[in-house]
Amino acid sequence: MTIFWHRRDLRAFDNAGLYEALKAGGPVQPVFIFDKEILDKLEDENDARVTFIHQSVSELNEVYREEGSAIRVYYGKPKELWPQIIEEFGATAIYTNRDYEPYAQDRDLVIKKLIESKGGSWHDFKDHVIFEGHEIEKNSGGPYTVFTPYMRKWREKLSPSNSPDGGGQLVSPPRGDGRGDIPPALAPYPCEDHYKNLNQVSAPKPIPTLKDMGFTKSDIEFPPTSVARGLIRTYDETRNYPAQEGTSRLGVHFRHGTISIRQKALAALDLNDTYVNELIWRDFYSNILQNFPHVVDAPFRPEYAGIPWTDDEAHFEAWKAGKTGVPIVDAGMRELVATGYMHNRVRMITASYLTKHLLINWQWGEAWFARHLLDFELASNNGGWQWAAGCGTDAQPYFRIFNADSQQKKFDPKYEYVKRWVPEYGTSEYPEPVVEHKFGRERAIATYKEALAKAKGGG
Ligand code: FAD
């Protein structure tokens, strides 16, 4: 029996690893593990991501049930569960899609060794990104650390025939109906052609409930998996205005693989270049995490490690609660906790306010976003925070500091977004800024400058 292990790919269509498992013959038994190593660290019992995953796994199971199969779902620690899974199904092969986070890489290595020690085989595939870290490299070798040249190389790699030198190597032969107009890296994996190879299950085991795992259902609403083409077509014009429905809200689906990145990228190619660029940012930050895993715990640029943060708990609490007295910051922070979402423009403004005006460690902010964002993705969240703090790869220089007032005037001029989330704005109840712009800006520049000079001088 072959096991297909679902992780960040909660779908049974256009799924690289599932397709390869089914194509190799059968029977293929799909498996999902609610990972206690991860769940035990979550602080909120109504964590919306757990509800989302539970719902998505249940929907995925319905697809399998229609084919006479069923997903087998476990709750526990993967390293402890796998010996039992291998035994239960007499597994001789494990197929899965690659996960690039350091925890997942270590875990997968252990499971790979386990199945191999029993004479079986391990097969992993690229599915979560369009191009992996090693696929887009500088001409001189090594990974890119700046977005624009990375983006150009990415585009060349996607459509070699459009590149200035007229071509290169195709990365994989076209699959599916062989439509010649699809870039090879976006060609679909037609799993449904091989569903006959799914393991037939007559008496499926129940999926553990949220309650079994110590969670309750969140009432946060999840965005749909499809987006109007018109929205993507005008994305470059609407994406910066937080009061508008101007972005796709697909982040949570990309994160958990409830949609296919290849399908969405292919559709976007004909609709909006700026949107394609955002998908390239996603690959870029994954590429950074894959090539520079130290970013998980430290700044990409080591000289930023010595910034003397204020560690001001009261300011941090005000920021988290949306009570800083800076309207667009407060609106964003409240949107985050209420909906699990924050608009990208506002993520940049709130992150900048925390790391520059409040001089609070970006890692505190990163952790708060990680706790609340539905679309939380280690690579992009870390990349976004390091960008805001100035210590990342292609980061905002430390002396360029957002003025929340000008951002407000430019991107929410009628205060529509602010009024939606901060009803007391404009009344006597609304506080003065905890740190005022001019003071905060000057303090940040002086502090960063001194710390960087010290790091340079080795002192
Ligand atoms: P759209 O604007 O519709 O973009 C489409 C997709 O492109 C997104 O869903 C996402 O997958 C990708 N994308 C867009 N912008 C970026 C970007 N700057 N970097 C990487 N991918 C991008 N994105 C996450 O997916 N997870 C995170 O945890 C995350 N944390 C962030 C933290 C900070 C401080 C900042 C500044 C940005 C962060 N982002 C994160 C990037 C971006 O804000 C979100 O991807 C975007 O707001 C999600 O909304 P959307 O799906 O409507 O995006």
Instruction: Tell me what the mean pLDDT of segment 333-356 comes to.
Output: 98
> What's the Cα-to-Cα distance from 270 to each of 148, 240, 276, rounded to whole Å?
21, 21, 10
pLDDT band at 411 (very low <50, low <70, confident <90, very high): very high
At 175, is the pLDDT very low, low, confident or very high (cuts 50, 70, 90)? low
Taking CB atoms within 8 Å and a gap of at least 24, the contacts of 423-428 are 425/327, 425/330
Q: Which two tokens stand for residue 50?
A: 């757990």
Tell me whether residue 271 is exposed, middle or buried, using C-beta atoms within 10 angstroms of its C-beta: 0 to 12, 13 to 18, 19 or more.
Answer: middle
Q: How far, in Å, CA of 155 to CA of 277, rounded? A: 9
Residue 333: predicted pLDDT: 98
Residue with tokens 């084919």: 67
Q: Is the Cβ–Cβ distance between 369 and 379 less than 8 Å?
A: no
Phi and psi torsions of 28, nearest 5°: -110, 125
Q: What is the CA radius of gyration of the chain?
A: 23
Write out the H or E segment, with its range, that includes residue 149.
helix 147-158
For residue 299, the SS3 value is coil
Q: What is the mean pLDDT of residues 381-389?
A: 97
Distance in angstroms (rounded) separating the CA atoms of residues 64 and 73: 13
Kindly tell me if the per-residue pLDDT of 214 is higher than 90: yes
Cβ of residue 233 lying under 6 Å from some atom of ligand 1: no
Residue 178 predicted with pLDDT over 90: no
Place of tokens 């009261």: 314
Q: Is the CB of 408 under 6 A from ligand 1?
A: no
Longest Cα–Cα distance in the chain? 72
Q: What is the pLDDT of residues 285-305, one digit of tens each?
A: 999 999 999 999 999 999 999
168 Cα–ligand 1 center, Å: 30
Q: What was the pLDDT predicted at 172?
A: 46
- The stretches of 309-403 forming alpha helices (DSSP H) are 313-321, 327-339, 344-352, 362-372, 378-389
Query: Helix %, strand %, coil % for the chain, to 5?
Result: 50, 5, 40
Question: Tokens standing for 418?
Answer: 């602010």
Instruction: Measure the CA–CA gap between 29 and 12, rounded to whole angstroms.
Output: 12
Question: CA 263 to CA 333: how far, in whole Å?
Answer: 32
Helix 378-389 vs helix 273-291: crossing angle, to nearest 10? 90
C-alpha of residue 227 to centroid of ligand 1, in Å: 16
Averaged pLDDT, 112-134: 98
* Residue 254 Cβ contacting ligand 1 at under 6 Å: yes
What's the pLDDT at 66? 98
Please report how the helices 327-339 and 362-372 are oriented relative to each other, as an axis angle in degrees rounded to 10: 40
Q: Average the pLDDT over 109-133 and give the result.
A: 98
pLDDT of residue 395: 74
State yes or no: pLDDT of 313 exceeds 60: yes
Burial class of residue 1 in the structure, from the number of CB atoms within 10 Å of its CB (0-12 exposed, 13-18 middle, 19+ buried): middle
| Distance from C-alpha of 448 to C-alpha of 306, rounded to nearest angstrom | 9
> Ligand 1 atom closest to Cα of 254?
11
Q: pLDDT tens digit string along 127-136?
A: 999 999 999 9
> What pLDDT is attached to residue 181?
78
Instruction: Kindly state if the Cβ of 8 falls inside 6 Å of ligand 1.
Output: no
Ligand 1 centroid – CA 266 distance (Å): 18
Cβ–ligand 1 distance for 283 under 6 Å, the answer no
Mean pLDDT in residue range 252-263: 98
Total-model pTM: 0.96
Ligand 1 pocket mutation pick from 271, 289, 344 by most atoms within 8 angstroms of CB: 344
- pLDDT computed for residue 47 by the predictor: 98
Q: Which two tokens stand for residue 79?
A: 């390293």
For the cut 80, the answer to whether the pLDDT of residue 173 exceeds it is: no
* Distance from the alpha carbon of residue 173 to the mean position of ligand 1, in angstroms: 30
> Is the pLDDT assigned to residue 169 strictly greater than 80?
no
Determine whether the shortest distance from the Cβ of 371 to ligand 1 is under 6 A.
no
Residues paired with 137 in a beta bridge: 143
Q: What is the pLDDT of residue 396?
A: 76
**Higher per-residue confidence, 180 vs 66:** 66
Does ligand 1 lie within 6 Å of residue 248's CB atom?
Answer: yes
Q: Is the pLDDT of residue 104 over 60?
A: yes
Q: Is the CB of 234 under 6 A from ligand 1?
A: no
Spacing, Cα 250 to ligand 1 middle (Å): 9
Across 416-442, average pLDDT: 98
The answer, yes or no, to whether residue 161 has pLDDT greater than 70, is: no
CB of 385 sitting under 6 A from ligand 1: yes
Ligand 1 neighbourhood includes 279 CB (under 6 angstroms)? yes
Q: Which residues contact 435 (CB under 8 A, 6 or more apart)?
A: 315, 324, 357, 358
**Does residue 313 or residue 160 have the better pLDDT?**
313
pLDDT given at position 189: 98
pLDDT band, residue 397 (cuts 50/70/90): confident
C-alpha 142 – ligand 1 centre gap (Å):
25
What's the whole-number mean pLDDT along residues 262-266?
98
The reported pLDDT for the residue numbered 162 is 55
- Report whether residue 388 contacts ligand 1, using a CB cutoff of 6 Å: yes
**In the predicted structure, residue 164 carries a pLDDT above the cut 50:** no
- Residue 32, phi then psi, degrees to nearest 5: -135, 145
Q: What's the mean pLDDT when you consider all of the chain?
A: 95
Report pLDDT digits (tens) over 55-97.
999 999 999 999 999 999 999 999 999 999 999 999 999 999 9
Q: Which has more pLDDT, 343 or 180? A: 343
Tokens standing for residue 253: 């689906």
